[in-house]
Structure formats: C-alpha cells, structure tokens
Amino acid sequence: MKFTDNTVEVLKNFASINQNILFEEGTEIATVSPQRTVLAKAKLNEQIPQEFAIYDLNRFLGYISRFNDPEYNFDADYVEIANDYKTGRYVFANATLIQSPPKKNLEVKDPEIAFDLQAADLKEVLGDAAVLGLPEVAVEGTGGKIFLSAIDSKDDSSDRTRIEVGKTGDKEFRMIFKTENFKMLERDYAVLISMKGISHFSSNDVEYFIATEKNSTYDT
C-alpha cells in the first residue's frame, strides 16, 4: 500500500496533537492530546490493513520522508518501507504504551452556537495570535454578530484581534479556547459549541472536538 499526500498531511497534523498514535484496521484514524482536551479524527483514502502502534509519529514521518514514492508492506511487528532505491523497516511500539482516544463516539448535542468558519479566517486569527503572543482564541457573540478573536482573557488591556464569522440573535457569549489547542488543518469547518464545555469543528475529511475553558460565558 501507499500513503497519499493527504494522509501524510493528516499524520503531520496529528503529530502536533500527540506524538504517538494507534492505527486501527480500516479507513479512519484518531488521536487525543495528552491533556485530553483535543480529540481529532480523519477519514483516509487508503485502507489501513491492520492495527499497529507508532510511539514517535514525528520520527516515523521523518523516516518515511526519506523515501521517494515508497510502498508499505506490513508484518506483525514492523512495516517494511521500500522503493526502487532502498528498503527499510520501522518497528512498531507496544500498543499498551499509546494514549488512545475513547472508543465511544463523541457528539455535541443541542449546541447553543453554530456557524461556518472559513479556512482563511481561521488562518488569519491564528497568525495574529502567534505574532502577538496571545494565549487564547475566543468565539464571541455580541451585537448580533459572531467573531473569532485572539485574546488574553486575563488582561482586558492587552492586544487583541477579531474577525466577523457569522450572525447570532440576541445571544451574548464568549467561548474561550487555549490557542495551543487550535491545531487544526487549514479547512473550512462547520462549528458547533455547547455550554457543556465541548466544541466540534468538522470538515469533509477531518474533525476536531476541543474543550472550552472554564471562564467561558454564555448569556441568553
């Protein structure tokens, strides 16, 4: 089998969430952050033939990047990686050492907030947050509009940036996330946020469940 460029892109993104991962047979992969505040799932174009564990995903990706258009042949304890020039193998980790996502499917039931987020708007706000060193991203509802903002909730006099991303009725809210948890691929997302402390960002091929911070507020 081969990994598509899209799958490699997803794996690089998942490595930024958790360095280890448990692959399962099928066309879906998932990971969870060590703090269990981010859960990510993706649909792949290829079929994973068996369960196997990678302890250091960045190391694995670094190794396979040294092969041009490789084929992957799976054994019980390792994967053989080969092209016309060279052959190598990468040994799997013990699956019990991997922090895996819960088996139960998560869902955001009866969300109080829903809107569509464009990839360009997400990229812009996260870029500003990085430049300004802002620790949080907020979804704010005020004056009938929804804004995506980069903020420091502990310092109202600090730098900030925001972009209008949707409309809301008379709802007033400020749902706060740690910037470090916004490790999404550059996609357009349908966003659902619940007062119960969970949000869902979903695109055609990848989805993220991200916890909101305790100082979030919602006023009907």
66's CB contacts (< 8 A; 6+ apart) are: none
CB–CB of 14/6 below 8 Å? no
Q: Model's pTM, two decimal places?
A: 0.94
209 in a domain, yes or no? Answer: yes
User: Which of 43, 68, 97 delimits the end of a domain?
Assistant: 97
CATH number, domain containing residue 34: 3.70.10.10
* d(C-alpha 145, C-alpha 164), whole Å: 7
Residues 67 and 129 in one domain: no
pLDDT band at 170 (very low <50, low <70, confident <90, very high): confident
Q: What is the pLDDT of residues 43-101, one digit of tens each?
A: 999 999 999 999 999 999 999 999 999 999 999 999 999 999 999 999 999 999 999 89
User: Which of 46, 64, 97 delimits the end of a domain?
Assistant: 97
Taking the CA atoms of residue 68, residue 64, residue 7 and residue 97 in that order, the dihedral angle to the nearest 10 degrees is 170
Check residue 220 and give its pLDDT.
67
CB–CB of 43/29 below 8 Å? no
117 in a domain, yes or no? Answer: yes
Residues 143 and 170 in one domain: yes
Residues 92 and 127 in one domain: no
Number of domains in the chain: 2
Check residue 219 and give its pLDDT.
85
By residue range, what is the domain housing residue 119?
113-219
Residues 93 and 153 in one domain: no
